[in-house]
Structure 1
Amino acid sequence: MSRLTATLVDGLVGGHRPLYSAAVALIQRGGHPTDLVTVGHLSRYADADGTPVAPEALQPALESTIFDLASVTKLFTTTVLLGLVDEGRMSLDEPIADWLPTFGGDERRRITLRHLLSHTSGLPALLQLWTDWPEPASRVQAVLRAPLVNRPGASFEYSCVGFMVAGLLAERITGQPLPDLVHERICRPLGLTDTGFLPDPARAARAAATEHQPHLGRGMLRGSVHDENSWSLGGTAGNAGLFGTAADVARFGELLRQGGAVDGVRVLRPETVAEMTRDQLPPAIDPGFRHGLGVRIGDPHWMGTLAADGAFGHTGFTGTSLLVDPSRDLVVVLLTNRVHPSREWSDIAEIRRAVAEFAAPPVCRG
């Protein structure tokens, strides 16, 4: 049993409780898969109390298993918007109020796309759309009218609200729904056939279960977005909602590692990817890592030793992550369902670090 396999198997056992029921790790070096491990089952529990599913209902996790990518969605939203910047349809530093009039007053007038994508907009981290607003139209307005908690550009506040605004901004600029934009601008040209919002029944049947949410009348989730805010907006928000496989996420990672193009298919200009992966935070703002446009840079909490060399990527609340280390020509994907059957059961930061460090041979510096 390889060290990588042993690491993922340990997560199936956990300590007090298992860390997940399913996990897929895929490591690519120089654009080629070198390590692929799948462990566990798509669903292990019937409820948050840990009632096991019947043995005959267990389905093994496979390379083709689809996971709720959660906040890894933010990287796709970012890529759509940076594509619009490449086309000259907007700029990183123009006020978003030029497109979204609710941002036209007071300090909100200063918010730019750069602020949204670097989490320096001053918008709050979260709203509880599913409890505080009764229907989708009022929820959209709540997002667009969310009050600032800080001055734009003054601090870092990881904001799902900011990325919901970003998704709505992309829709306003283009007149197209966000799922169509992600499909047409990223998934179709790159051949990501298993990535998208709102999985159809066939794809949902291949999905790993996430959380039991009877308080929302949803039961055990499988193929339906876990994030409550995205769900309350129809499952197609800029902060969360995408589903995909490890192979698809790795190919997207290759897009970023290779400067915006894979196998001759260009999605972003090289200079745009360079800006995306450049630290956007002023030195005085120090949340314990650095941040680009959409991507987190050098975060040791989940990147381990790769953080020291400027690796970048993103995690997802459901237990997913994409890590890219250009200095090693490395892409690391870890997909799990760590919220199954309850988000209170586990934290997989240690597993993420272990997988990253397994993938990290020393860099030859000459």
Structure 2
Amino acid sequence: MSRLKAMLVSGLEGGRRPLYSAAVALIQRDGQPTDLVTVGHLSRYADAAGTPLAPEARQPALDSTIFDLASVTKLFTTTVLLTLTDEGSLGLDEPIAGWLPTFGDGERRRITPRHLLTHTSGLPALLRLWTDWPDRESRVQAVLRAPLINPPGATFEYSCVGFMVAGLLAERITGHRLPDLVHERICRPLGLTDTGYLPEPDRAARAAATEYQPDIDRGMLRGSVHDENSWSLGATAGNAGLFGTAADIARFGEMLRQGGTVDGVRVLDPNTVAEMTRDHLPPAIDPGFRHGIGVRIGDPHWMGPLAAARAFGHTGFTGTSLLVDPSRNLVVVLLTNRVHPSREWSDIAAIRRAVAGYAADT
């Protein structure tokens, strides 16, 4: 058994509870896959108590398994907005109030796309849209009218609300829904055939299960977005909702590693990628890592030794991550369903660090 596979198997077997039921790790060097490991099953439990499925009901995880990407979605939302800056439809430092009038009063007038994408907008981290508002229209208005908790630019506050606003901003500028923008501006040109919102039945059948959510009458989720806020907005929000395979996410990461292009297909201008992946936080703001436009930079909590090289990327709450280290020509994808059957069961930071360390060493 390879060292990388042993790491992932340990997550299936080690500790009081398994860390996930399925995992896929893909490591690329110089654009070529050098390590691909799959372990586990698409689902293992029938409920949050951990009632096991019968062995014959378990499907093995494959390299074609689709995972709920959770906040890795934010990288795609960021890229959509950056394509708009490349074509001159949007300025990173222009107030979003020009497109979204609810941001036209008080300090909200100062919020820009750069603020949204660097988590310095002053907007709150979360709203409970699915419990506090009755329908999509009222939930959209709640997002657009969310009160500030800090002045824009004053502090770092990881904000899913800010990325919901970013998705709505892209829709307002273009007149197209975010799923279509992601498909037409990223997935179709890159050939990411297994990445998108709202998986159709054949893709959902390849999806790893996530959480059991009976409190909102959803049961065990599989092929339906885990994030409750995104779900309440029709599962097509800027903060979460995308599903994809390891190969697709690695190709997206390779596009960023190569400065916006891969195999002759350009998605972003190289200067835009350089701006995306530089540190945008003032020195006085120190959350323990640095932050670019949409990407986290040099975070040792999950990047392990690659943090020292100022690698960049993003994680997802469901147990997913994309990590890019241009200094090593390296792209590392780890997709798991660590919230199956309950978000309270596991933390996979150690597995993420171990996989990053393996990639750094080999």
Alignment TM-score > 0.5, same fold: yes
1:197-276 equivalence runs, <5 A? 197-276=197-276
Aligned equivalents of 1:125, 1:19: Cα separation in 2: 26
For the residue of structure 2 that corresponds to 1:315, the secondary structure is strand
Partner of residue 195, structure 1: 195
Across the two proteins, how many residue pairs are aligned to each other? 362
After superposition, give the CA deviation of every residue in 1:278-316 in whole Å (9 maximum; x if it has no partner): 000000000000000000000000000100011000000
1:25 and 2:25 are equivalent in the alignment: yes
Aligned residue for 2:186?
A: 186
- SS class of match (1:39): strand
AA aligned to 1:54 is A
CA deviation map 1:300-352 (0-9, x unaligned): 00000100011000000000000000000000000000000000000000000
**1:39 alignment partner in structure 2:** 39
What amino acid maps onto 2:153 in structure 1?
Answer: G
Letter in structure 2 aligned against 1:91: G
Distance 2:134 2:128 in 1: 11
Offset, 1:14: 2.7
Task: Supply the AA of the counterpart residue of 2:303.
Answer: M
- Give the structure 1 partner of residue 328 of structure 2: 328
**Which 4+ residue blocks in structure 1 deviate beyond 6 angstroms?**
none
Equivalent AA in structure 1 for residue 340 of structure 2 = H
Specify the SS of the correspondent of 2:235: coil
Counterpart CA distance in 1 for 2:9 and 2:16 is 15
Alpha-carbon deviation of 1:54? 1.4
Q: Which residue of 2 aligns with 1:346?
A: 346
Matched residue type, 1:48: A
Aligned counterparts, 1:1-366, within 5 A: 1-361=1-361
Alpha-carbon distance between aligned partners in 1 of 2:57 and 2:3, rounded to the nearest angstrom:
29
1:82-115 deviation per Cα after TM superposition (whole angstroms, max 9, x unaligned): 0000000010000000000000000000000000
CA-CA distance at 1:261 after TM superposition: 0.3
C-alpha deviation, 1:55, in angstroms: 1.1
**Runs of 5+ unmatched residues, structure 1:** none
One-letter identity of the residue aligned with 1:259: G
Q: CA deviation at 1:13?
A: 1.1
Pairwise CA distance, 1:361: 3.2
SS of the residue corresponding to residue 39 of structure 2 reads strand
Instruction: Report the 3-state secondary structure (helix = DSSP H, G, I; strand = E; otherwise coil) of the residue aligned with 2:212.
Output: coil
CA distance in 2, matches of 1:51, 1:361: 39
Could you say what the CA RMSD is over the residues aligned between the two structures, in angstroms?
0.6
Identity %: 85
Distance 1:306 1:241 in 2: 27
3-state secondary structure, aligned to 1:97: helix
**Given the two structures, how large is their TM-score scaled by the length of structure 2?**
1.00
For the residue of structure 1 that corresponds to 2:23, the secondary structure is strand
